[in-house]
């Protein structure tokens, strides 16, 4: 099964170079096929890893799943997007080729992150994702897109600089145990955790949480996220929210596992509570006052990253497993939400929520799927996010931190009110005057139905082998690899 690792990296990497030099009508088909092939290889790799036929541990396996879900469907969706998007007669073909090339390159970088356990290598790869994401966000060339790209580069780079300090502090602390010249592998730190200076480990985790938490969209380091999600191409928004945020969490989880093994979970849990509750507060209340459909989904991402952080903070096994499951559920649901929102915005020629009405009447499939995605993000059954949020809350109420769990529940109700309000407003109503009902693009609809299958399926049942994967990944985060 290790033979799939070159494939999951090589497919998007080769496509990134190829599609830049061929007509976009061919490049979009190759990107769709490549996304599906890469997703298949990742799922085969994860399935094979359960039998011990690869060197990947459970945490790497788990964080590859969002890549498979989002990249596999983004490729299909992009076959419609590159035909629908227009930036001017002279620039269309160039824009489409650059978009396809950068999308594949971005997917490649996002895939590499969970394959690594070298702490310095993780920093380098996340820096690459910053550059590629910024190039994608600015691609449409509008003033808003350029401003969002520069803002993202500035804030993310500052965050990664702090994250690099965390890597350096951890490396310096490990030198007294592992030698002055050693590879900063996660496994080495965990094995030597009890011998590494405790204060240095605490400082490295704090710096990592602030630095890489910036890329994860945790408050108060979240300010780049609404602009980047709102101004970037719709498939890019799905990849930013569904995969990049989880990649950043993967790096934080590696640091957390080292800290938990070295000094116990108390410190990491307290810090996760701080950023988790703050992110939930910011995301929930900003959801109540939004005018842009994609910015609304961006604040939902901040809220859901807060939920994940709180799940890790509760420390109960059920809550931690629920938090890791929520990473997958959020990736699938947010991809569906952005895909369907992009279809609605294209049809109505606006992203302003107040100007989009009767979405289901105009686009029966896309409008309905947007409504379902909105209610799933709000935490309604029988969808995946409901299951994982219920696990997090149940785990939280089973601990001495039940007052915090009650606070989380209250903030989730605020977020529910905001999401339900805008979702109903966009999708309900009669067919607007002058608009035609119907949609025909098979690839775009197919991509949304595929990802909806994941959203609904994980709400109904979680396969036993996936539960086992979540349990093993939870043990790693807890410092018990």
Q: What is the pTM of this model?
A: 0.95
List 352's β-bridge partners, or say none.
292
Residues 236 and 132: beta-carbon distance below 8 Å: no
The three-class DSSP label of residue 118 is: strand
> What average pLDDT does range 369-390 have in this prediction?
96
Show the DSSP H helices in 349-428 as ranges.
359-362, 364-377, 384-397, 402-427
Alpha carbon dihedral 380, 386, 389, 391, in 10-degree steps, equals: 140
* pLDDT tens readout for residues 78-133: 999 988 875 544 458 888 999 999 999 999 999 999 999 999 999 999 999 999 99
Residue 52 has pLDDT above 80, yes or no: no
Cα three-residue angle 435-441-444, rounded to 5 degrees: 110
pLDDT of residue 381: 93
Residue 295 has pLDDT above 80, yes or no: yes
Mean residue pLDDT of the chain comes to: 92
* pLDDT tens readout for residues 316-341: 999 999 999 999 999 999 999 999 99
pLDDT of residue 232: 87
299 is in which domain, residue-wise?
Answer: 4-477
Question: pLDDT grade, residue 405 (50/70/90)?
Answer: very high
pLDDT of residue 140: 80
What percent of the chain clears pLDDT 70, i.e. is strictly above it? 96
Q: Residue 60: is it exposed, middle or buried by C-beta count within 10 angstroms (0-12/13-18/19+)?
A: buried
pLDDT of residue 47: 79
Question: pLDDT grade, residue 142 (50/70/90)?
Answer: confident
> What average pLDDT does range 269-295 have in this prediction?
93
Please list, in sequence order, all residues whose beta carbon lies within 8 angstroms of the beta carbon of residue 247, skipping any fewer than 6 positions away: 63, 110, 113, 114, 126, 129, 215
- Rounded to whole angstroms, the Cα distance separating 25 from 93 reads 9
> What average pLDDT does range 210-235 have in this prediction?
91
- Residue 75 CA to chain centroid, in angstroms? 16
Number of domains in the chain: 1
Q: Per DSSP, which regions of 67-210 are E strands? A: none
């Amino acid at each position: 099964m290790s033979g799939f690792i070159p494939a999951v990296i090589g497919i998007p990497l080769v496509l990134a170079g190829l599609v830049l030099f061929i007509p976009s009508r061919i490049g979009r088909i190759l990107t769709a096929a490549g996304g599906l092939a890469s997703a298949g290889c990742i799922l085969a790799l994860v399935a094979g890893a359960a039998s011990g036929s690869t060197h990947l541990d459970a945490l790497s396996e788990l964080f590859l799943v969002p890549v498979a879900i989002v990249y596999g469907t983004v490729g299909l969706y992009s076959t419609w997007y590159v035909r629908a998007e227009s930036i001017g007669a002279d620039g269309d073909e160039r824009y489409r080729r650059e978009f396809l090339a950068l999308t594949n390159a971005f997917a490649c970088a996002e895939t590499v992150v969970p394959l690594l356990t070298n702490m310095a290598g993780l920093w380098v790869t996340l820096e690459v994702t910053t550059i590629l994401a910024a190039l994608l966000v600015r691609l449409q060339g509008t003033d808003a897109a350029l401003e969002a790209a520069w803002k993202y580069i500035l804030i993310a780079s500052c965050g990664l600089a702090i994250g690099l300090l965390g890597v350096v502090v951890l490396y310096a602390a490990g030198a007294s145990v592992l030698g002055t010249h050693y590879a900063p592998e996660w496994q080495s730190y965990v094995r030597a955790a009890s011998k590494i200076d405790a204060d240095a480990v605490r400082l490295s985790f704090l710096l990592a949480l602030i630095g890489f938490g910036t890329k994860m969209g945790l408050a108060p380091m979240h300010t780049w996220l609404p602009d980047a999600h709102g101004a970037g191409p719709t498939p890019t928004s799905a990849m930013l929210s569904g995969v990049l945020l989880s990649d950043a969490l993967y790096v934080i989880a590696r640091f957390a596992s080292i800290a938990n093994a070295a000094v116990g979970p108390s410190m990491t849990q307290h810090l996760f509570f701080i950023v988790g509750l703050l992110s939930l507060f910011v995301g929930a209340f900003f959801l109540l006052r939004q005018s842009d459909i994609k910015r609304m989904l961006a604040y939902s991402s901040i809220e859901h990253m807060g939920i994940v952080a709180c799940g890790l903070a509760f420390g109960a096994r059920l809550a931690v497993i629920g938090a890791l499951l929520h990473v997958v559920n959020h990736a699938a649901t947010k991809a569906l939400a952005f895909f369907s929102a992009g279809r609605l915005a294209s049809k109505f020629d606006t992203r302003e929520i107040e100007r989009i009405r009767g979405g289901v009447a105009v686009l029966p499939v896309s409008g309905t799927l947007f409504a379902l995605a909105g209610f799933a993000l709000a935490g309604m059954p029988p969808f995946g996010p409901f299951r994982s949020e219920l696990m997090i809350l149940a785990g939280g109420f089973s601990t001495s931190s039940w007052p915090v769990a009650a606070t989380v529940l209250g903030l989730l109700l605020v977020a529910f009110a905001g999401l339900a309000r805008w979702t109903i407003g966009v999708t309900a109503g009669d067919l607007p005057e002058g608009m035609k009902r119907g949609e025909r693009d098979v690839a775009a609809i197919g991509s949304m139905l595929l990802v909806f299958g994941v959203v609904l399926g994980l709400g109904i049942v979680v396969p036993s082998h996936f539960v086992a994967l979540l349990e093993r990944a939870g043990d790693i985060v807890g410092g018990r690899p």
